[in-house]
Structure 1
Amino acid sequence: MRVISLVPSITEALFDLGLATDEIVGRTKFCIHPKDWVDKVEIIGGTKNLNIDKIKALEPDLIIANKEENIKEQVEELMKDFKVLVTNIETLEDNYYLLKQLGHLFGKEEKAQFFNLKTYEAFNITKSDKRLKVAYLIWKNPYMTVGGDTFISKILEELGFENLFKDQNRYPEVQLEDLKDADLIFLSSEPFPFKEKHIVEIREVCQNQKIMIVDGEAFSWHGTHLAKCGDYYRELLEDL
């Protein structure tokens, strides 16, 4: 089967499940894992600016998209000519069924079950008795955070945190003053590449909060990636 993945985390999952480069024939420029393998796969644009002509030329049997990652109109255009699987992952349970579905689709059921068990183990860790309030920033100029209906927010909850903006939807803009009710401020390494200098800037306003840069992939990449983050989650909670 010739597959094109329009989702970075799903590209990683397909390789983890055991698909080869003659099966995964197209991927986005943001599909960076696993590096040794994705470099051998044709780039078909970005997640939100797909090269439709290049995709058509690759003649895929299946295209895998995501409701949040990709543009609806572009996906609908592809649906006119190809079979498209549109995923929508909002919770860990959704992630479980995604891997189960991919495992069944490609005859990789055992590998899918392995990664689901490893994901369960990754979150089976000792959490703080006190639910610390977290403001999780994903963007700067303007500052943007995550609402309660996002996958990132669900991962925060699974790790025992409380999303300060759980009552808001999607990715609201915030002011630094809005972060003062948080115990912790997490600066995600992606999509905006927060650095140490940004901690200094934010600390000028938020002087009583612990501010730290966190691995954005560990909070936002679904699929098999979460199964590899157990040590990272453990160390994060121990540091706090």
Structure 2
Amino acid sequence: MQIKDQLQRVIKLNRTPQRIVCLVPSITELICDLGLEPLLVGVTKFCVHPQHIITNVVVVGGTKQVHYDKIRNLNPDIILCNKEENTPEMIRELEAITTVHISDVNTIEDCLELMDMYGIIFQCSPQAKSLISKISSAKIDFEDFIKTQPVREVTYFIWKDPWMVVANNTFINYMLSLNNFKNTFQKESRYPEIAMDGIYSTVELVLLSSEPYPFKNEHKKAIQPQFPNAKIFLVNGEMFSWYGSRLLLAFDYFKTWHRTVLPSE
């Protein structure tokens, strides 16, 4: 079988993969929700959903650094990677071990395309199509809900020392837009560092993500002087950055958040 991944690379499979190494936390959860957990032989230390996975499956490292010998010894049929999560250097090393499939997700449409690909690769199309249908319906329902919410200017922090925010050309920025949020750094690309010596007086909301940097309440005080007119909130980063089956939880999370934290003005 030949199939293109989301970078349009042609990958060849002699049979349906039976041994999967996944180096992307959100995809590990997706693979399990597609009924393929028994095929997982290797994951990263950040693959925390489902919670038991890192105790039942060999942990081969993180998303940026892995133990290639561990992966080689697992004799995988396929390694699942992501353009943003995993480095080009890693990909080159992994391709010497076995077939590598790379995802590239910037929108929910990309997510659904990836699920469809996995349905074909792992011969679980009925499960993939069911999940695609549920997420598509949830998205339509949420888009109807969000029409009643005002547009707000938002800054979304992902890191400290240096301070880094989310900008354009990212999945998180797409999810912010879906929530009727106008990104302060929309004109910049990816994850720029920002100097914390300016005043951002037009920002209405500052969101401090739970990942990759685990922001806490004490960080609000450090940020408030630069954002004098903003309300600052801690948010569940998984809901804004995890593509895959977690989207079903994300839409409910966003609805609850808007209703309880940001009532319509």
Give the TM bin, normalised by the shorter chain: over 0.9
Tell me the TM-score normalized by structure 1: 0.94
2:203 is aligned, of 159, 172, 182, to 182
The alpha-carbon deviation at position 38 of structure 1 amounts to 3.6
**3-state SS, counterpart of residue 9 of structure 1:** helix
Give distance in 2, aligned partners of 1:178 and 1:148: 21
The alpha-carbon deviation at position 209 of structure 1 amounts to 0.5
Partner of 1:218: 239
Deviations 1:31-70 (A, max 9, x none): 1100123420000011111111111111100001111101
Give distance in 2, aligned partners of 1:228 and 1:108: 22
Give distance in 2, aligned partners of 1:129 and 1:26: 42
**3-state SS, counterpart of residue 63 of structure 1:** strand
Q: Is the aligned partner of 1:82 residue 2:98?
A: yes
* 5+ residue gaps, structure 1: none
Once the two structures are aligned, what percentage of the paired residues are identical?
Answer: 39
Partner of 2:152: 132
Q: 1:172 to 1:212 in 2, by over 3 A?
A: same
1:72 is aligned, of 68, 88, 95, to 88
* 5+ residue gaps, structure 2: 1-17
Task: Tell me which moved more, 115-124 or 39-48.
Answer: 115-124
Give distance in 1, aligned partners of 2:107 and 2:199: 26
Is contact 2:199–2:226 with CA below 8 Å preserved after alignment? no
Tell me the TM-score normalized by structure 2: 0.86
1:191 is aligned, of 198, 212, 223, to 212
Deviations 1:135-179 (A, max 9, x none): 000011111101111110001111221111111001001134354
Q: 1:119 to 1:107 in 2, by over 3 A?
A: same
Give distance in 2, aligned partners of 1:212 and 1:81: 44
Q: Is the aligned partner of 1:63 residue 2:79?
A: yes
RMSD: 1.4
Partner of 1:16: 33
Give distance in 2, aligned partners of 1:129 and 1:31: 34
Matches within 5 A, 1:139-158: 139-158=159-178
Q: Is the aligned partner of 1:232 residue 2:220?
A: no
The alpha-carbon deviation at position 129 of structure 1 amounts to 4.6
Is contact 2:47–2:53 with CA below 8 Å preserved after alignment? no
